[in-house]
A and B are shown apart, each in its own frame.
Chain A
Amino acid sequence: DVKVTQSSRYLVKRTGEKVFLECVQDMDHENMFWYRQDPGLGLRLIYFSYDVKMKEKGDIPEGYSVSREKKERFSLILESASTNQTSMYLCASTRRRVETQYFGPGTRLLVL
């Protein structure tokens, strides 16, 4: 059974803190994604990675960075958290474009 896990379900951070969100998949997928989901705005792609140490910007990369040192792990980093980064963060992975994207359970981040 396929599985994508995220390090936290809920996080509360202060403005200016550095925040790490981790995503791990056990399916040996090459492609991994970070989305954020906000009411009225839907899902928006932040970054994606198609191989180890490779990364590409999505639609809204500002204020975020990513790291993919191992195939199974894709980390999203908020260098200096701001209140407008309060959101639901969703990680996904897929082997190929013609296959299903599998999503993790999400991390709800609140920045105070």
Chain B
Amino acid sequence: KQEVTQIPAALSVPEGENLVLNCSFTDSAIYNLQWFRQDPGKGLTSLLLIQSSQREQTSGRLNASLDKSSGRSTLYIAASQPGDSATYLCAVPLMDSSYKLIFGSGTRLLVRP
């Protein structure tokens, strides 16, 4: 059974700091891994999708890495800004016909000015 875990649950950093968010999954047989951002009371915004055959995916100040063999992904945020404050969720789709995403519980990030 696929389980997704995110540590830490919350993180507070000063503006300008580089930071890493962690995501781990128990079953390494995945199609891809997706990172989302959620602002309070809002829906999820897709940040990056990294395919199972990829090692890294970059978008602006964001870089996601994937190590399938160890069941880990990281989201690296460079030069953090207060506007980056949000909850970050990772998810993997189930390897069946459902297309269902299994989500981690998220990391709540606060970037202090």
Interface residues of A, Cβ cutoff 8 Å to B: 4, 6, 31, 33, 42-43, 45, 48, 50, 56, 58, 88, 90, 92, 94, 97-106, 108
Contact = CB atoms under 8 A, between A and B. Distances in A.
Given A101-B34, A106-B43, A42 B106 contact: yes
B44 A90 contact: yes
Interface of B: 31-32, 34, 36, 41-46, 49, 51, 89, 91, 93, 97-101, 103-106
Main secondary structure of the interface of A (DSSP, over half): strand
Consensus secondary structure, chain B interface: strand
Nearest to A4: B43
Given A45-B101, A98-B51, 19 more contacts: A31-B99, A33-B99, A42-B105, A42-B106, A43-B101, A45-B98, A48-B98, A48-B100, A50-B97, A58-B98, A90-B44, A94-B99, A97-B31, A100-B49, A101-B46, A103-B36, A103-B45, A104-B43, A106-B41
A91 to B, nearest CB: 8
Interface centre among B46, B89, B97 (most CB of A within 10 A): B46
A56 B94 CA distance: 14
